């Protein structure tokens, strides 16, 4: 009987431990506005391209929320106002390796796989001529 009580006490302490982990999430949520500001900042075009738009969502993520250190992101672009017929989006990893991710029309969106790591850079380039239109870097926020 004492073993059963001990097991129950251990199980309840584990449940209490889990429930104690839940309250920091709202506290983290209270501190989320800076984190939320990071994705908004990521949606700002670097460098500015006038009324054209390029965004990555999310533009930042908490490392503890990542699966195997990576996340899935969605790129959205609209450069029709710049009279751009087609774009290419390149991905530059933290090592500086640049790879073509996709080619598309003057506006659109596409979602990555689970391969966006901290400091992954997205470059929006005019397909004809290779002129750089914008670039954004996904940032990681450490978990505390």
Give the range among 19-23, 31-35, 140-144 with minimum mean pLDDT: 19-23
**What CATH class does 33-141 carry?**
mainly beta
Statement: the pTM of the whole predicted model exceeds 0.75: no
Mean pLDDT of 32-49: 41
Positive/negative CA dihedral, 54, 126, 118, 112: positive
Residue 100: predicted pLDDT: 97
Q: What is the reported pLDDT for 94? A: 79
Taking the domains of the chain in order of start, what are their residue ranges? 1-30, 33-141
* Cis ω for the linkage preceding 88 (within 30 of 0): no
- Is residue 46's pLDDT more than 80? no
Q: How confident is the model at residue 24 (pLDDT cuts 50, 70, 90)?
A: very low
Mean pLDDT of 36-48: 41
């Amino acid at each position: 009987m004492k073993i059963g009580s001990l097991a129950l006490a251990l199980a309840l302490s584990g449940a209490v431990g889990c429930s104690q982990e839940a309250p920091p999430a709202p506290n983290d949520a209270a501190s989320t506005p800076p984190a939320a500001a990071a994705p908004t900042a990521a949606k700002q075009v670097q460098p500015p391209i006038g009324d054209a738009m390029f965004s990555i969502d999310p533009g930042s993520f908490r490392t503890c929320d990542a699966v195997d250190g990576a996340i899935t992101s969605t790129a959205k672009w609209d450069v029709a106002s710049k009279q751009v017929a087609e774009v290419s989006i390149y991905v530059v990893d933290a090592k500086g390796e640049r790879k073509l991710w996709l080619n598309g029309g003057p506006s659109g969106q596409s979602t990555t796989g689970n391969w966006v790591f901290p400091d992954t850079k997205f470059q929006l380039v005019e397909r004809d001529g290779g002129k750089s239109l914008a670039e954004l870097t996904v940032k990681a926020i450490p978990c505390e």
